[in-house]
A and B are shown apart, each in its own frame.
Chain A
Amino acid sequence: MMTVSASPRTVYLDNNATTACAPDVVAEMLPFFTEQFGNPSSIHAIGASVAPAIRTARERLQNLLGVAHESEIVYTSGGTESDTTAIISALRAYPERREIITSAVEHHAVLTVCEHLARHEGYKLHVIPVDGQGRLDLKAYENALSENVAVVSIMWANNETGTIFPIEHLAQMAKPYGILFHTDAVQAVGKVPFRLSNSAIDMLSLSAHKIHGPKGVGALYLKRGVKFRPLFRGGHQERGRRAGTENTAGIVGLGKAAELAQAGFRDENIRVRSLRDRLERELMALIPNTIVTGDVEQRLPNTTTIAFEFVEGEAILLMLSRAGIAASSGSACTSGSLEPSHVMRAMNIPFTAAHGATRFSLSRDNTEEDVDRVIAVLPGIIERLRAMSPYWSSSARAPAEFQPAYS
């Protein structure tokens, strides 16, 4: 029998968008679609046997986040629901406080909700700017804090650049004003250490599919004693804080993913980090007129966003995709709008480079060979696209003169 050599596997470097569901996670989930189909609220044995699995998942999540009480975890449908729940709950719990603080580089799951509340419900919104390397303006943050603020919602780590904010410090600063502090940690979970039992953070959002779990499930950490107003009512599930029959298979998957994330923490921070660093270093050395965006000192171990001057991100992604490499872009054209991503704009990355910003986000599934593949093909792709670009031919004959605006 003839063996056909398989086409090389896709090099998946878009793990900040979503991750592959781990086989162990899928295996633990499967019985909950079939024989373990019961509703955990039921009295009979078929339902009751599901409840322990949901408890186990909660314990695993508790361990990963360093959470003191199991009741502090509320299962949701994912990051977006957790974010919305946290923000709306804080506003309803403190109706006399009419201000919200967030950052200019938040995920749309937070930013759009805040902007909507400001536009349609009259809330005053403080959008804290960042500097050229994506670092939060702490002075502006301090000035925005007051007893009129109901909630601060600032991300733990940025999805586009990987830049990590000093969240614990920010939460401590908000305490004296009695402000509820929420953080969207979907990108940080599994990559940075957590000890929420010993933290000033009141609420934290996470999502299963960013940590090799299934899509459509996540959790909201809710510190004991924090005033809460549910978004969904109509059931006693999650102690009345999130009505709706539990997504049992999803919750079990989230629990397993949390356990694996905890086990993979060292790998993520040592091996994956070194893969990312080598990818970045070699691309920078091989391709002229290139900027690494974000705060390279305070950054997730798996993320690098590199802006290639004078080429457009979507064109890069399509060429990479044809070479079997999956990456992502903050470019305008991938989102259907005309402007580059709000994160690139908030950092004042020059337009010439922002459109070519390309994000590589790794995971524990990646290998040295994956990095080699990108290094082998990307310089050629950029060269080809630059040869086609009217800006490159007119300016880049003197690449040495290139001065990124923020360096």
Chain B
Amino acid sequence: MWNYSEKVQEHFFNPRNSGVLDDANGVGEVGSISCGDALKLFLKIDPANDTITEARFQTFGCGSAIASSSALTEIIIGKTIDQALSVTNQDIADYLDGLPPEKMHCSVMGAEALRAAIANYRGEVWTDDDHEEGALICKCFGVDAGMIERAVRVNKLNSIEQITNYTKAGGACKTCHEKIEEVLGQVLTAMAAEGAIDTIPAPSCPVAPSAPVHKPMTNLQKIQLITTAIEELRPTLQRDGGDIELVDIDGDTVMVNLRGSCVGCQMSSITLSGVQERLMMVLGKPVRVIPAQAA
């Protein structure tokens, strides 16, 4: 079963504003029964100030579709239509304390129904921008087969690594790499058949990740981090009449000057070890902090 948040469950079991709004002046319908989701959103908008005074919905769909619809109505009531148009599907998901990746399309449906209903109020025609395309491939980043296909076609990609760089798909847990390879194979075969590429490139095997996954910090980044950390420590020392100054950095050794009441303080070694601990936390690696005079 899905790992639905308390909020999703609450909005599913006790949906707000469900039903038909007879005097609605903006109605949006999205989805279809063939894909298992459909949402009809009714808005009552005050023409005097373009404010949404009432919103209701009818939804055919799963728990998260109903919860998303309910959340949507709660979010937009009282907003002007311009404010409402800035509501994204992520806002709906956030309102519900998140949705499982496979269920994000439910929030997309909500955002689209909203745009459709406002277009209807304005007398415009709203067209679906084709959000949902094929099976979800990468659960970590919510990338579906359609998005991968577009990236491959437009950018003529031919490796998993490139697909990850363009779409993020497969960049986290890497368990979807077989599926990505399969989509890649299909798209390249199709492109070759269409004449979009000359030959199908040999499937490039994903190379084992070369040693450090995170690029090593540059010296500049290191210096900036240390400077910021020491600046943050200064007010604490100043409160006791002391101060600290960064003198130099040599590899993993950080040289500082203690000033004011810190000078000659019997606790200065403890102060230094506190600074050292803080720097190690910031840098994520061991460093040594020593008084500059000693260097």
Query: Which residues does A use to contact B, with CB under 8 Å?
Result: 310-315, 318-319, 321-322, 331-334, 336-340, 351-352, 355, 387-391, 393
Contacts and interface: CB of A to CB of B under 8 A. Distances in A.
Contacts of A333: 36-37, 61-65, 103
Nearest to A321: B1
B102 A312 contact: no
Nearest to B61: A312
B20 A312 contact: no
Contact of B63 (A314, A352, A389): A314
Contacts of B18: 387-388
Question: Which 9 pairs of residues, A with B, have the shortest CB-CB distance?
Answer: A333-B62, A314-B62, A336-B102, A390-B58, A332-B36, A390-B40, A389-B60, A318-B63, A351-B34
B135 A315 contact: no
B65 A312 contact: yes
Contacts of A352: 33
Contact of B38 (A339, A387, A390): A390
A318 B62 CA distance: 9
A17 to B, nearest CB: 11
Contacts of B235: none
A274 B155 CA distance: 61
Contact of B66 (A340, A351, A388): A388
Contacts of A351: 33-34, 36
Chain A CB count within 10 A is highest, among B19, B33, B39, B102, for B33
17 contacts: A311-B60, A312-B36, A312-B61, A315-B66, A331-B36, A333-B36, A333-B63, A333-B64, A337-B135, A338-B36, A338-B105, A340-B36, A351-B36, A388-B15, A389-B58, A389-B59, A391-B33
Contacts of B294: none
A336 B135 CA distance: 9
Contact of A336 (B35, B58, B59, B136): B136
B13 interface: yes
B109 to A, nearest CB: 12
A393 B39 CA distance: 13
Interface in B1-46: 1, 9, 12-13, 15, 18-20, 29, 33-40
Which of A311, A318, A321, A393 counts the most B-chain CB atoms under 10 A from its CB? Answer: A318
Contacts of A389: 58-60
A376 B51 CA distance: 44
B132 interface: yes
Nearest to B40: A390
Contact of A393 (B9, B35, B58): B58
> Chain B interface mostly helix, strand, loop or mixed?
mixed
A387 B19 contact: yes
Contacts of A355: 33, 36, 60
A312 B60 contact: yes
A311 B38 CA distance: 11
A315 B61 contact: yes
Contacts of B135: 337
B27 to A, nearest CB: 10
A54 to B, nearest CB: 35
Contacts of A311: 60
A315 B136 contact: no
**Contact-residue size bin, chain B (C-beta under 8 Å from the other chain):** 20 to 34
Contact of A322 (B13, B20, B33, B132): B13
Which of B13, B37, B60, B66 has most chain A Cβ within 10 Å?
B60
A118 to B, nearest CB: 13
Contact of B62 (A310, A312, A339, A387): A312
Contacts of B40: 390
A337 B135 CA distance: 6
Interface string B149-191: 0000000000000000000000000000000000000000000
Given A315-B62, A318-B63, A391 B38 contact: yes
Contact of B36 (A322, A339, A387, A390): A339
B110 to A, nearest CB: 14
Contacts of A336: 102, 136
A364 B148 CA distance: 48
A333 B105 CA distance: 11
Nearest to B139: A336
Nearest to B20: A393
A322 B1 CA distance: 13
A393 B1 CA distance: 29
A393 B33 CA distance: 14
Contacts of A340: 36
A312 B36 CA distance: 7
Given A322-B13, A338-B132, A387-B19, A315 B38 contact: no
A337 B105 CA distance: 11
A313 B59 CA distance: 13
Given A311-B60, A337-B135, A393-B20, 8 more contacts: A312-B37, A318-B13, A333-B65, A339-B36, A340-B36, A387-B19, A388-B19, A388-B59
A357 to B, nearest CB: 11
B101 to A, nearest CB: 9
A352 B63 CA distance: 17
A388 B62 CA distance: 12
A168 B33 CA distance: 39
B93 to A, nearest CB: 16
Interface in B117-143: 132, 135-136
A53 to B, nearest CB: 36
Given A388-B58, A390-B38, A390-B40, A315 B12 contact: yes
Nearest to A334: B62
A390 B21 CA distance: 12
A314 B63 CA distance: 6
Interface core residue of B9, B61, B132 (most chain A CB under 10 Å): B61
A315 B58 contact: no
A117 to B, nearest CB: 14
A333 B65 CA distance: 10
Contacts of B136: 336
